[in-house]
Structure 1
Amino acid sequence: MSYPVTVTLRRIGGYDDPGLDGAVAALFEAADCPVGRGDRVLVKPNLVGPRNTALSCSEPHVVRAVCLFALSRGAVVTVADSPAFGTGGIMARLAGLTQALADLPVAVESLDAARPLRLAHGGSIGVSSKALDTDHILNVARLKCHDQMGMTLATKNFFGCVCGFRKSLAHQRLGRDRARFARMILDVLAALPPSTSLLDGIVAMHKAGPVGGEPFKLGLLGAAANPLALDTAVYGLLRLAPDAVPLWAEALRQDLGGARPEDVACAGEPLESFDATGFLTPASLAPLHFEPKRFVTGRLRSVLLTLRGGR
């Protein structure tokens, strides 16, 4: 990939905007998305948990627009994630995705079937074979604060390709070293097939996250072939420094393309046309490592949600 990477931005007034589908398609076109006829495409939304789904999860209208783009290219489309609680199917229903996609020829599934991935710092983590074996990933991220990692944008959304409870185990095993945890996410990204990322900041989440924050109307949609570049553009918009976002700091330490501001060329709407005044990020980062009680409680909640089918 040559640098600088083009990050294209569009202004959208709301999720009911009649131009949403066209804007999403235009963004993928601008990102030179290579999806074609017969390609197996994974549409990877952000499905976190059953709380505050209207803000914490990918917005159904946006996911639908992404699916329409892939279908217009003749792709075979699967929508899947591995949420922190329950299954991809349950969370898709709770977040409104199942209903939004009901009339489309797409499969809605969980990212399961773990395959061990060796990590740079040693050990391994189980990444979904469905993600590893697809031809292309259309990454549909939500612009949100994150209490433990500062922000969750396009790059962080790929952590959802780690299967089920293995994400919680990663917090336990790696959570005492934030840089090592960030390196694990970058290892997962590097192992995955080619991707194109779409970032939804039409209504973002600020103050806290990735679940318990508050809405912030930013009116932004962005896309790029490199998720790091897309994130870097947003860090600039929010006037963040690398020490506030461990994933960005680690990407810079590794000298990864797209992590430096000079690696990014913004197109479409100028970055400065989006007003982020008043967007608040966590004043300090919460521990990544879960206390044993929280870890066990979280696992029980996930099992119960799965057994009850999301009711």
Structure 2
Amino acid sequence: MNTKVALLKCKDYDSELVYNKIKEAISLIFGNNQVFKKGERILLKPNLLAPDPPEKATTTHPVIFESIARILLENDVKVYYGDSPAFHKLSKTAEITGIADVAKKLNLILADFETRKKVIYKNAVQNKVFEIAKGVLEVDGIISLPKLKTHGLTLMTGAIKNQFGCIPGKIKAGFHAKLDDLEEFSQMLVDLTMFLRPRLYIMDAIYAMEGNGPRRGHPVNLGVLLVSTDPVAIDAVASQIIGLNPEEVMPTIKGFQSGLGNIENITILGEDIYKVGKKFALPRYKGNYNLIPSPIRKIIKNYLFPRPIINYKKCIRCYECYKICPTNPKSIKINENKLPEYNYKTCIRCYCCQETCPEGAITIKLKFL
């Protein structure tokens, strides 16, 4: 069965341009079929990783958020929104990213992302138990609004990984400690997405991020929007746009293998993928780790896998890297000079430290021992 991915040019964040492009994309995907029902409760789930302004390209742009919210309100849908940032409070993150201003203007409802509820997903391949934000479970449907970025752990973050924010707060870091192998972690993301089943994915790639993503990379004006009902297909197309083979992105592989979506027989509606692509700089050497059996990967990880490195000239001693480290005991200590220092023997290469560093002081480098 063919899967549709709408790929439309959208040069900037002009509000009417984005609004019309999203409407066009939805029409390309669904035709004349009704997408939203009057009175439905729909949750908008943007990527709100950290409290960075929109021009940093860390988070879903507020114009994307506003445009789909307007479309929903025009269809008499009750619109909720929320996310669980990696480290900071949602209120602060939503304010700085511009999401809070849009929500206030349109009278959108902030969903409960503080309270968590245990759920059991019997059809999961690996993770059958999750603790999900209560607000996610109280709506009739989800629209996922991922931001296209490079990522230290998964190489690329997009539609599949965006649902990780439906798990409240610091619980997320615990998954890295329990699932310290990329294949296992990726399977968890797929199981979570299979349970939540967002109705639609609208990927913000007008300005994407390359390099030291997902927080301190460089914004790149790709000038496109991607829309689909299939998270595997949209991630596969997105990865090709930035110069990655979909099979190099573990969540995409696991999603396809688990039946979450397609990487084959994808119909791209709109632009030619090869005319909008740009090879992105990656946060780490991508290697061929996917080809190494999982038990062997775990043994050689500390010797051959890229490691996080601190640039002490940029370090401001905020210790967010220390606070977010999920291992017990922590793989980062504060040394006699009051600087964070790694214990690479216990570091699990989850790269949470690199992801949350507000100064971009942590990069990922390959170092053979």
Q: 2:93 corresponds to which residue?
A: 91
Q: Which amino acid aligns with 1:250?
A: K
* Higher relative contact order (Cα pairs below 8 Å, separated by 6+ residues): 1
- Given the alignment of the two structures, is residue 187 of structure 1 paired with residue 191 of structure 2, yes or no? yes
Q: Which amino acid aligns with 2:285?
A: S
Aligned-partner Cα distance in 1 for 2:156–2:333: 22
For the 8 Å contact 1:82–1:110, the answer to whether it is kept is no
Q: 1:198 aligns with which of 173, 187, 202?
A: 202
Q: 1:11 corresponds to which residue?
A: 9
- Following superposition of structure 1 onto structure 2, how do residues 290-305 of structure 1 map, counting pairs within 5 Å? 290-291=326-327, 292=330
Q: 1:106 aligns with which of 99, 105, 108?
A: 108
Aligned-partner Cα distance in 1 for 2:99–2:134: 22
Q: Give 1:103 shift.
A: 1.7
Shift of the 194–212 alpha-carbon distance from structure 1 to 2, 3 Å rule, reads closer
For the 8 Å contact 2:52–2:96, the answer to whether it is kept is no
Aligned-partner Cα distance in 1 for 2:49–2:138: 23
Q: 1:283 corresponds to which residue?
A: 284
Q: 1:27 aligns with which of 22, 25, 28?
A: 25
Q: 2:230 corresponds to which residue?
A: 226
Q: Which amino acid aligns with 1:271?
A: I
Aligned-partner Cα distance in 2 for 1:17–1:269: 21
- Following superposition of structure 1 onto structure 2, how do residues 71-150 of structure 1 map, counting pairs within 5 Å? 71-118=73-120, 120-121=125-126, 124-150=129-155
Q: 2:176 aligns with which of 171, 183, 207?
A: 171
Aligned-partner Cα distance in 1 for 2:135–2:285: 36
For the 8 Å contact 1:52–1:212, the answer to whether it is kept is no
> How much is the aligned-residue C-alpha RMSD, in angstroms?
2.6
Shift of the 135–274 alpha-carbon distance from structure 1 to 2, 3 Å rule, reads same
Q: 2:276 aligns with which of 268, 274, 277?
A: 274
Shift of the 129–49 alpha-carbon distance from structure 1 to 2, 3 Å rule, reads same
Deviations 1:130-164 (A, max 9, x none): 21231111111110000111100111111111111
Shift of the 5–294 alpha-carbon distance from structure 1 to 2, 3 Å rule, reads farther
Q: Which amino acid aligns with 2:264?
A: P
Q: Give 1:193 shift.
A: 4.4
For the 8 Å contact 2:112–2:133, the answer to whether it is kept is no
Q: 1:162 corresponds to which residue?
A: 167
Deviations 1:144-202 (A, max 9, x none): 0001111001111111111111101111111x211111111111111114420000110
Aligned-partner Cα distance in 1 for 2:115–2:125: 22
Q: Give 1:19 shift.
A: 1.4
- Following superposition of structure 1 onto structure 2, how do residues 245-264 of structure 1 map, counting pairs within 5 Å? 245-258=249-262, 260-262=263-265, 264=266
Q: Which runs of 4+ in 1 moved over 6 A?
A: 295-299
Shift of the 282–35 alpha-carbon distance from structure 1 to 2, 3 Å rule, reads same
TM-score by length of 1: 0.86
- Given the alignment of the two structures, is residue 65 of structure 1 paired with residue 70 of structure 2, yes or no? no
Identical aligned pairs, as a percentage?
24
Aligned-partner Cα distance in 2 for 1:10–1:253: 28
- Following superposition of structure 1 onto structure 2, how do residues 40-55 of structure 1 map, counting pairs within 5 Å? 40-51=41-52, 54-55=56-57
- List alignment gaps of at least 5 residues for structure 2: 287-305, 309-324, 335-339, 341-351, 357-369
SS, match of residue 239 in structure 1: coil
Q: Which amino acid aligns with 1:282?
A: P
Deviations 1:70-127 (A, max 9, x none): 1111100011111112232221112111113322121134523212234643573311
TM-score by length of 2: 0.73
Q: 2:289 corresponds to which residue?
A: none
Shift of the 37–55 alpha-carbon distance from structure 1 to 2, 3 Å rule, reads same
Greater CA drift, 131-140 or 238-247: 238-247
Aligned-partner Cα distance in 2 for 1:202–1:14: 6
Shift of the 256–123 alpha-carbon distance from structure 1 to 2, 3 Å rule, reads closer
Aligned-partner Cα distance in 2 for 1:76–1:17: 21
- Given the alignment of the two structures, is residue 152 of structure 1 paired with residue 154 of structure 2, yes or no? no
Aligned-partner Cα distance in 2 for 1:256–1:84: 25
Q: Which amino acid aligns with 1:143?
A: L
Aligned-partner Cα distance in 1 for 2:270–2:245: 24
